[in-house]
Amino acid sequence: MQTLTDERFLVSPFFVFFLIYSNIIGVGILSFQRDIIKSAGYDAWISVLLSGISIHVLVWMIYRILTIANNDIIYIHQFCFGKWIGGLLNVFIIIYFFVVGLIVFRVYIDVVQAWMFPLMKTWQISVIFLFLLYYIVSSGFRVITGMCFWGTVIPFVFLFPLVFFSLEFAQFNHLLPLFNHSVNEILGSSKKMVFQFLGFETLLMFYPFIKNPEKSKKWAHFGVLFTIFLYLSITIITFVFFNEEHLKHTIWPTLTLLKIAEMPFIERVEYIVVSLLFLVVLPHISQHLWAVCRGLKKLVNIKQRISLFICLFLFFLFSNVLESHKQIERLVDLYSSVGFYFIYLYVPFLFLTINIKQKLTK
Amino acid sequence: MNSRFFFAVSFIVFLTGCENERTIDQVQIIESIGYDQHEDEIKGTAIYPTFKEKGQTKLNILTTKSPSYDDILPRLNTKSAHSIEIGQLRLVLFGKKFAEQGINPVIESLKRDPIVGSRMQLGIAEHTAEDILISGEHTNFPFHLSEKINQNIQNGKLPKMNLHLFLENFYDKGKDPYLPYFTIEEGRAHINGLALFKNGKYINHISLNQSFIVKMLIDGAKNGRYYIKINENKKDGFISLKNLDAKAHYTISQIDQVPNISIDLTMNTQIKDVPPWLNVTVNKDILKIENVLNKHFNEEVQQLISLFQEYQVDPIGFGEMVRAKSRKWNYSRFQDMYPHLKTTVNTKVNIIQIGVGE
Amino acid sequence: MSFKQRFFKKKIEKQAIGPQDINHLFTKAKKSSDFGQLSLINKTGHFILSYYNTLIDLEQFQCKVLYVFQEPSFNIGHIKNIEDIRNTIPIEDILITDNIEVIESKFLKGYAILQMKENDYKCALINLANVKVGLREQNNVENEFSVIGPQIGFVENVDINIHLLRQQISTPNLIIQDIHIGSMSHTKVIIAYIEGITNEQHIQTMTQRLQNIDFDVVFDSSQLHQIITDNSLTPFPLLLSTERIDRTVFALISGQVAVFSNGSAYAVTGPSTLLDFFVSPEDYYLPWIIASFFRLIRIFSVLFSVFATSIYIAVLTYHYEMIPRVLLGPLIFSRNNVPFTPLLEVLFLELTIELLREAGARLPTKVGQTLGIVGGIVIGQASVEAALTSNVLLIIVALSALASFTTPIYKMSNTIRFLRFPLIILASIWGGLGIVVGISFLIAHLTRLESLGTPYTVPLYPFRRKDFADGIIRSSYNATSKRPSYLRPRSLWRYHPSDQIKKKNDFDD
């Protein structure tokens, strides 16, 4: 197989695990429990499993698409739909990735403002964030993968054990009675849960940067499995810690969960959590930004550095425009429905199209 | 041009963090707050420690009055040289009169503020919170009231409680919250039982021994102490137990009509003192002691549950247990049924050790 | 402009202006008072010897050269042309040439020029260089001390260094290549590698970079290190310099390339990774469990040294809620009368310690020790008494200063001392978030670094599970039998591990 990019810029297939993981886990893990209990109540952990399994199917489909095309999604669009429609779809994809990065960026700043520094203005936090993003994204894909690796290992090692402190107050009675909701309700929660798994679509963009891409399939599935495990354990621990009514009144359940951890030399660990979340969110946003810059380069051939500058400036602008919680929520709702249709309708559609196109061109 | 622009921006950025500074010795760290109802106004009392000399702390008091609860903290600020910070707040006390009117607004505001910890303690004072807080002032031991509660939870007769558990019980329809009940005895604050709540309003309180039984029923005791008075063959005496390990197991049947709850209480304990007319080395006597204890606890638990049914509060959480077993749970139906709930108690006491002397 | 760019750019502009011929050279040399010329007159002509008498070994000159010519049995007729000199003079390094550049460079290295007749262009260059005078005789390693293990290190003479190296690596596969760097110093620089193990790419990169250097006087191999480094904007050293022989030998047999420079006792080896800087030779002389434990302590102490003061500032300024109840009293009390913010307190103490360290390095030995101890203790105690700093902070700063010196390589401990300051400033601006921002910058920076083309954070970031046997912990000799794969060596096996024979006792029957 010929490599479309220079050998020096490729990463080995093992890192797809970290890439997928950091693209899925973002700020959503702090507050997703509230959304999923709206429909299925405390049976929502089943919804987590169901959404996870559907994501596995989608990843498999995406891999089939990419193996046939052996290139990224910009090329696929142009191959399947021709130059003009493909170009239009490419523009949509680039805007989609941009909006995802923007949302994660703004929501994280929101968390910092709510929990740590209430007096800090949005633009102050964004400026330092933007410096870092420029430094990382302009260093190339290998450095972004490195950040994904560290952004997975360090927070997981430090933060995940903290969750187990809350088991001191666990009441497993909350989960009973099991299966008390109808299948419709559980599926409704699954729909909400899928939003948390969104983000792995950047796989469509960074596929050419993987060495031996066939070997990376199993790592991508491991990555999805690991995120399912993480979401499931946090869900179950939240459910045994809070009862349903209490959970409905808590905006950030995971952080409130971590507030109770107490160690001999340190007490309120949620400050560490919010800070280390920065390491989790940073590779997520830089991946998406990188995808936008690369897409723009392949589409209209702008130099990636210039498009990076433009994107960062737009980030700064938009994050200041979205000041209130309500506006952010509206954007998030819009994104979640667009994302849902993107992966559940558009990806299978693309799958069929590329199979047909391939048979036609043979 | 580029580098100069970045330099200028970074300079501005560096000045940004200064607003949020709360340096540790430039803020007044409040350790306990008390709210009382005083005629039509709310009186707030705050205690903060100062560390002037090495190894010596001094506790100081700030009080203020205000018609509304939200205004108390800002008013306290006007009386202090440093800004008031509640990050290390460990205890909030409510006077009985204040609690009878409902402590909902305070709870709501505590819940919404990320700066207070979830392990904070709450309490009810028999007369006014101010008395309790002031009584501890001369001890000059910071956080001593909240430590009192913590210590009694671990080694004494109080069930586990903190802000998180209070909120859990507050929101859960199948359980009602409870808080420690403070009185003053010989000039010192004294935990004298549990205060029972319903919908955020204070209902009544139970004694310390009864709260130990609540502890056994809810959390299970680990190293409790207990004494009972017995009257056998017209002889009086006290049996005192230590290292009491208790666990309660609930079986619920007949969910659809009036539920039937059977409580199996298992206890492993050691004997500390027995009346002289009982001999702990003789097996027969040990069996007699065990029987006496079984009967005693059965009666006590039943009495307690009847008391709760009379007050219409459910701190043990029978509602929650029934909900976990039933497919269709309706809170108001349970509330109507609650006074008619049938409970049977079976206690099994095992005496493990009798000490080293004879 | 960076250090590196400046040296590589000027190469095209400068043109060397050397002497046109040998008389020109002699005219210039005659201006120095240490230039000597001797002529031995005989029947057919003169033998003219020209030399710098400060460079040559006068004893050798007199015994080997003058003695031969002045011996009564010497027949001047045997020497018909200059090539016969080789058979006459009992010195092995005689060069016959008329290339003026070679003549000039050898002349300046202590060779004597022998001309048959005056104004002859072709001459013989006889090696009479005195290399031992003025240089250090003993070669104890002072800066990289280890309790167990050999204490010998390199000296400032590159030939002696190669001699020491060849004593340990006794194979003809050890290839030594020499080049001369420095327009005014013509320093002999040696590139050493083991053929069959080292990847040719590394050798090529190193050689090419060294050959592209344009510099005037090479004082030390560390200068070479800085000029050829991949990225000059980083505080991290990208190549490892060491004084110890065993460390260099270990680097060579793992597949690295070593560079020696005449006049410098430090060898530069590359490509190196971040974990190489936490490896001490003592680790290999102690049992592997103890060695791994101490390696972990080293890494932990480095982390502590970098983050301790910033965490102190962040918690005390922004996150007082994180302090446990029992520590609240002592901390507030210790800060009670201090007029400064925690940031200024920390900066004051850190700068005092840096001051003490710098001053201690320059004081004469006898005064240095006393002043260091007195300064440290007295200043520390007095500043706490005067309530300029808090005593808790004094302990933290002193411990982190000590902890920064636990790295075996001096260059890395400098980096660690430096890294503390940006983190302190970031922590004072944004508290805990500032520290994490600093960590992200650090990680992004480290991931970008490359040493001679190999990534700097391997085996951690391009995660190679097999190379962890000698990374954070040092496994037993059975597990470290392969070479690290990130150096891409030509041969992977160092030795074959012995089979473990399990001892049987009666329980196994």
- For residues C56 and C93, give the distance between their C-alpha atoms in angstroms, rounded to a whole number: 14
Which chain C residue has the Cα nearest residue A263? C324
Among C321, C432, C463, select the one facing A275 at the smallest CB separation.
C432
Beta strand B342-353 with B260-273: parallel, antiparallel or unpaired? parallel
The count of other CB atoms within 10 Å of the CB of residue B20 is 16
Q: Is the pLDDT of residue C304 over 90?
A: yes
Would you state the pLDDT for residue C12? 47
Residue in this structure with the two tokens 């020209």, named with its chain if needed: C50
Among B18, B87, B147, select the one facing C321 at the smallest CB separation.
B87
- Residues of chain A contacting C461 with CB distance shorter than 8 Å: 146, 149-150
Q: Which amino acid is at B144?
A: H
Chain C, 299 to 328: residues with Cβ < 8 Å from chain B are 316-318, 320-321, 323, 325, 328
Widest CA span in chain B: 102
- For residues B214 and C447, give the distance between their C-alpha atoms in angstroms, rounded to a whole number: 58
Among B19, B20, B172, select the one facing A246 at the smallest CB separation.
B172
Would you state the pLDDT for residue A227? 92
- Residues of chain C contacting B120 with CB distance shorter than 8 Å: none
- CA–chain centroid gap for A125, Å, is 21
Would you state the pLDDT for residue B141? 82
- Residues of chain C contacting B142 with CB distance shorter than 8 Å: 325, 328-329
Angle between helices C22-30 and C100-107 (to 10 degrees): 30
Tell whether A184 lies on the interface with C, counting CB pairs under 8 A: no
- For residues B157 and B215, give the distance between their C-alpha atoms in angstroms, rounded to a whole number: 7
Torsion of CA B156, B159, B165, B168, to 10 degrees: -170
CB B351 within 8 A of CB B322: no
CB B269 within 8 A of CB B284: no
C159-163 contacts: CB < 8 A, separation 24 or more? C159/C131, C161/C190, C161/C260, C161/C265, C161/C267, C162/C190, C162/C192, C162/C260
Instruction: Name the token pair of B193.
Output: 């039982």
Burial C397-428 (b: 16+ CB within 10 A, else e): beebbebbebbbbbbbbebbbebbbebbbbbb
Chain A residues with CB within 8 Å of chain B CB: 114-115, 117-121, 124, 127-128, 131, 169, 173-174, 176-177, 180, 242-243, 245-246, 249, 255-256, 259-260, 262, 267-268, 270
Residue in this structure with the two tokens 């970074």, named with its chain if needed: B10
- For residues C213 and C259, give the distance between their C-alpha atoms in angstroms, rounded to a whole number: 14
Residue in this structure with the two tokens 């003789």, named with its chain if needed: B282
Q: How far is CA A63 from CA A55, A73, A206, A350, B9, in A?
A: 12, 12, 12, 12, 44
**Residue B1: band (very low, low, confident or very high) from pLDDT cuts 50, 70, 90:** very low
**Residue B296: band (very low, low, confident or very high) from pLDDT cuts 50, 70, 90:** confident
Query: Measuring CA to CA, which residue among A189, A216, A209 is closest to residue A59?
Result: A216
Would you state the pLDDT for residue A127? 86
Q: pLDDT (tens digit, 9 = 90+) per residue, C364-407?
A: 877 777 777 777 788 888 888 888 888 888 889 889 988 888 88
Among C321, C432, C461, select the one facing A267 at the smallest CB separation.
C321
Average pLDDT, chain C: 83
Q: Kindly state the average pLDDT of the residues B61-74.
A: 86
Q: pLDDT (tens digit, 9 = 90+) per residue, C398-435?
A: 899 888 888 888 888 889 989 999 999 989 888 889 99
Residue partners of A347: CB distance under 8 A and separation at least 6:
A58, A61, A62, A65
Q: pLDDT (tens digit, 9 = 90+) per residue, C104-163?
A: 888 888 888 888 777 777 778 888 887 777 777 777 777 788 888 888 888 888 888 898
- Residues of chain B contacting A120 with CB distance shorter than 8 Å: 16-17, 19-20
CB neighbour class for B356 (10 Å; exposed up to 12, middle 13-18, buried from 19): exposed
**Residue B39: band (very low, low, confident or very high) from pLDDT cuts 50, 70, 90:** confident
Would you state the pLDDT for residue C11? 46
Would you state the pLDDT for residue C268? 93
Q: pLDDT (tens digit, 9 = 90+) per residue, C159-214?
A: 888 988 898 888 888 999 989 888 888 888 999 999 888 888 889 999 999 988 88
Q: How far is CA B356 from CA A157, B238, B245, B275, C425, in A?
A: 48, 19, 19, 17, 62
- For residues B33 and B181, give the distance between their C-alpha atoms in angstroms, rounded to a whole number: 16
Torsion of CA A245, A246, A247, A252, to 10 degrees: 150
Would you state the pLDDT for residue C440? 93
Q: Is the pLDDT of residue B159 over 60?
A: yes
Which chain B residue has the Cα nearest residue C428? B17
Tell me which residues of chain A have a pLDDT lower than 50. 1-3
- For residues B174 and B151, give the distance between their C-alpha atoms in angstroms, rounded to a whole number: 28
Which of residues C133 and C267 earns the better pLDDT score? C267
Q: Is the pLDDT of residue B74 over 60?
A: yes
pTM: 0.87
Q: Cis link prior to C271 (omega < 30° from 0)?
A: yes
Residue partners of B243: CB distance under 8 A and separation at least 6:
B223, B224, B269, B270, B353
Distance in Å, alpha carbon of B343 to nearest chain C alpha carbon: 43
Instruction: Name the token pair of C140.
Output: 């104890």
Angle between helices B163-171 and B104-112 (to 10 degrees): 120
Q: Is the pLDDT of residue C7 over 60?
A: no
- For residues C111 and C51, give the distance between their C-alpha atoms in angstroms, rounded to a whole number: 7
Mutation choice for A interface testing from B112, B167, B169, B256 by most A CBs within 10 A: B167
Q: What is the DSSP letter of A10?
A: -
What is residue C493's three-state secondary structure?
A: strand
Q: What is the DSSP letter of C234?
A: -
Q: Is the pLDDT of residue B229 over 50?
A: yes
CB B308 within 8 A of CB B301: no
Distance in Å, alpha carbon of B79 to nearest chain A alpha carbon: 23
Tell whether A136 lies on the interface with C, counting CB pairs under 8 A: yes
Instruction: Name the token pair of A115.
Output: 């929990």
* C493: alpha, beta or left? (left if phi > 0; alpha if psi -120 to 50): beta
- For residues A218 and A59, give the distance between their C-alpha atoms in angstroms, rounded to a whole number: 10
Question: Which of B55-69, B184-198, C11-25, C169-183 shows the lowest per-residue confidence on average (mean pLDDT)?
Answer: C11-25
List chains adjacent to chain C, taking adjacency as at least 3 C-beta pairs closer than 8 Å.
A, B
Q: Look up the ipTM and state it.
A: 0.90
Q: Which amino acid is at C316?
A: L
Would you state the pLDDT for residue B290? 85
- For residues B307 and B213, give the distance between their C-alpha atoms in angstroms, rounded to a whole number: 13
CB B72 within 8 A of CB B36: no
Widest CA span in chain C: 104
Q: Is the pLDDT of residue C21 over 50?
A: yes
**Residue C10: band (very low, low, confident or very high) from pLDDT cuts 50, 70, 90:** very low
Give me the numbers of helices (H) and strands (E) for chain B, helices first please: 11, 14
